[in-house]
Amino acid sequence: MPVMKGETRNSYPFETKMSAVKAHVEDGMTSAEAMKAYGIKSKSAFFRWCATYRDEGEDSLKPRKRGRPPKKRQ
């Protein structure tokens, strides 16, 4: 999904994601409170993080390499 003109795409560090998700899922903080406390602006991203955390655990929130792997030299 392209970013619209004038909008910026936020990137959150792993520690911020983990803290916010744990506060909501494990500590019983409401989603609105957790998002406000950790400065998360996107509701959809936050709920996606929570769902993947519940299904796959902590490793699902770690950053992954993106793009095509480098070509092997011979």
How confident is the model over 26-72, as pLDDT tens digits?
999 999 999 999 999 999 999 999 999 999 999 999 998 889 988 88
Contact 21, 61 (CB under 8 A): yes
Question: Where are the chain's structural domains?
Answer: 14-58
**The whole model's pTM is what?**
0.78
Using CA atoms, how far residue 66 sits from 56, 69, 70, in Å, is 19, 8, 11
